[in-house]
Structure 1
Amino acid sequence: MDRLEALLGPRQELLHEIQALPIRWDRERFLFWLKQDYPFVEALYRYLVGLLSEAPQAHRPPLVHALLATVEELDWLLSQGASPGDPVHPVRRAYIALLEEMGGLPYPYRLVLFYFLNRLFLEAWNAHVQGEGPWQELSEHWSAPEFQAVLFDLEVLAQGLLSQLDPSLLQGYLLRILEMEKATWSLLL
């Protein structure tokens, strides 16, 4: 088992709970969820800008690609009716607050946690979103080879940083990320 998997190991049960949530998909519920995703993705954009401003040169290419994917996602969310001025659901506000808190950590922690933010979301997404539906365009965006390559590069960078980090601090944040993911996906129950 690699070090990233070992770090996630104690939290794997919570990830399985998220993947097993009995999501009820309908167009109205999905559009609400998308609109509530906009403020979070905007906060993720700011988190990424902060990462990029401190990144060593070797880390910049995947972070630039991740930033571009985030900007494209923000544009897509706006095209789906999201509005920067809409009220933000308390669940999303709490997740944004967690992102802002993590933004104050040293760069290596922020990068590893950014990798996990993406990975854990995509693992939940892949468990819940199958077949055709209003999510098709977004699914194609996240499953595109370019985005998968970015995730792979982030995983390699995260692996390279793990040996210098406190595993208990990372596990604490991983638990909180998973709790926020569960609360976010629960908006679709």
Structure 2
Amino acid sequence: MRSLEDLFACCPGLLEEVKRLPIRWDRERFRFWLQQDYPFVEALYRYQVGLLREAPQPHRAPLVQALMATVEELDWLLAHGADPQAPAHPVREEYVALLGEMEGLAYPYRLVLFYFLNRLFLEAWNAHVAGEGPWQELTEHWSAPEFQAVLFDLEVMALGQVARLDEGLLRAYLGRILEMEKKTWSLLL
């Protein structure tokens, strides 16, 4: 495997399918989607804590910054009415279960997959969210230079790991992540 981009050969067109979903935004749908985002972001927080525990020293600062961004997102969701005790939609439960499964992988795999989780979500977000609306604050958060710097650092760290990993395993999980992104965004159809 030569690059992170080579991994996308596993799922030709799946990211484009996600980006072309005919999302129908309105305040109520967005509110439902945010409510359902909380269990996933909480699981992502736990995933990141596990990464940080095993991270080599050069990876720790960027992972701490990524973890802080996740903590801020959880705070934002709570401030906007997310209920941590509310039942999760089956699609969100399935994505949380995938994160839990991925936690059993070795650190280098989890790091590369964490990069892809962020990248794929943001590519879909940028394709579906435009203009003003209740999502504007989140758009500003994810497009802030500080968060973009974290993504760049994650990409560099992932690039440093990917060449010595099992390409088949990475592609299998990448395909599953893309399928979960499609299901998650499909909640807004």
| TM-score normalised by length of structure 1 | 0.98
Q: Give the match for residue 151 of structure 1.
A: 151
After superposition, the C-alpha distances for 1:87-118 in whole angstroms (9 at most, x for unaligned) are: 10000000000000000100000000000000
Q: Give the match for residue 135 of structure 2.
A: 135
Q: Give the match for residue 99 of structure 2.
A: 99
Matches within 5 A, 1:153-172: 153-172=153-172
Q: Give the match for residue 119 of structure 1.
A: 119
Alignment gaps of 5+ in structure 1: none
Distance in 1 of aligned mates of 2:37 and 2:183: 13
Matches within 5 A, 1:15-164: 15-164=15-164
Alpha-carbon contact 2:35-2:77 (below 8 Å) kept: yes
Residue identity in the other structure for 1:14: L
Deviation, 1:8, is 1.4
| Number of aligned positions between the proteins | 189
SS at structure 1 position matched to 2:23: coil
After superposition, the C-alpha distances for 1:138-167 in whole angstroms (9 at most, x for unaligned) are: 000000000000000000000000111000
Identity %: 75
- Measured on the aligned residues, the alpha-carbon RMSD in Å equals 1.0
Distance in 1 of aligned mates of 2:39 and 2:12: 27
Distance in 2 of aligned mates of 1:92 and 1:40: 6
Deviation, 1:10, is 3.1
Alpha-carbon contact 2:109-2:165 (below 8 Å) kept: yes
Distance in 1 of aligned mates of 2:79 and 2:178: 28
Change (3 A) 1:97 1:29: same
Q: Give the match for residue 185 of structure 1.
A: 185
Deviation, 1:12, is 4.0
After superposition, the C-alpha distances for 1:16-51 in whole angstroms (9 at most, x for unaligned) are: 000000000010010000010000000000000000
Distance in 1 of aligned mates of 2:9 and 2:2: 10
Deviation, 1:2, is 5.6
Distance in 2 of aligned mates of 1:34 and 1:8: 28
Residue identity in the other structure for 2:7: L
Comparing both structures, which one devotes a greater share of its residues to helix? 1
